[in-house]
Amino acid sequence: MDLGRFSAILVVGAPGSGKGTQARFLCEALRIPHVATGDLLREHRRRGTALGIAARASMDNGDLVPDELVIQTVVERLYRPDAANGVVLDGFPRTLEQARLLDRQLEACGGGVRSVLYLAVPETSLIERLTGRRVCIGCQGTFHVMIHALPPDGTCPRCGDQLVQRPDDREAIIRHRVAVYLDQTRPVLEHYAERGLVHHIDGARGVDEIKDDILNRLTGHVATLV
Ligand code: AMP
């Protein structure tokens, strides 16, 4: 499935909705890059860029990073050669302003948003999923204390490095992130729903069931893609 340059499929969902997992599956199936603004911003922080430093306080407090900083990271990414057949955007746009800027940017280059996948998960499940999430500082693997048998010494079952809780995965911050999401991102969905682009996906099901549902809706050819 070739979307074309400056074209995107958006994966939208609250923190903990599984949007990252599903976005990665989709990218493998469609062979196009996964562009997650959270990852791009964390990468800037690791590299200590001016953008990373500017984004740090908002991220640690569970607030949204200012639109102009996020848009700068996304646009830079869309110009890289591997984005020639389109991208899956994960975690962007999160505000109506970002959505409008993205549309303008893509459409000016002959592309556009092609589909929006909205992963709907009840708020109580989101909180449960995120408070139990642990991330490996070595291999970046993501685990859940309720799902995976994790070593009692807090090491990664895959590579043996240290597992940590992301600073923004603490309960008070999570509640704030979910509230921020509900407040800011709903208008984004409404914006794309007006154009008939939104697929409502039940995100409370098993990972594989959701994956098949998404591929089927986008291509109608699950079996040939997976
Ligand atoms: P995520 O990994 O998608 O949960 O994002 C982690 C944090 O990065 C968020 O809580 C925000 O502080 C910031 N962030 C990621 N994407 C965006 C965006 N589109 N707009 C503003 N802030 C963002």
Atom of ligand 1 nearest to the CA of 92: 19
For residue 111, what are the contacts with CB-CB under 8 A and spacing of at least 6? Answer: 3, 4, 5, 6, 7, 8, 86
DSSP assignments along 132-189, one per residue: TEEEETTT--EEETTTS---TT-B-TTT-SBEE--GGGSHHHHHHHHHHHHHHHHHHH
Distance CA 206, CA 82 (A): 31
pLDDT of residue 109: 87
User: Which residue shows structure tokens 């990852």?
Assistant: 39
133 as an active site residue: the answer is yes
How far is ligand 1, taken at its centre, from the CA of residue 220, in Å?
31
Nearest Cα neighbor of 74 from 58, 56, 55 is 55
Q: Is the pLDDT of residue 78 over 70?
A: yes
Given pLDDT bands bounded at 50, 70 and 90, which one contains residue 223?
very low
pLDDT of residue 1: 65
pLDDT of residue 220: 63
35 lines ligand 1 (CB under 6 A): no
For residue 51, what are the contacts with CB-CB under 8 A and spacing of at least 6? Answer: 41, 44, 69, 72, 73
Q: Give the residue-averaged pLDDT of 22-51.
A: 94
Q: Is 133 exposed, middle or buried (0-12, 13-18, 19+ CB in 10 A)?
A: buried
Q: Is the pLDDT of residue 222 over 60?
A: no
Model confidence, pTM = 0.82
177 as an active site residue: the answer is yes
Instruction: For 195-204, write each residue's pLDDT tens digit.
Output: 999 999 999 9
Q: Which domains are present in the chain?
A: 7-33+80-122+171-225 (3.40.50.300)
User: To the nearest whole number, what is the mean pLDDT of the chain?
Assistant: 90
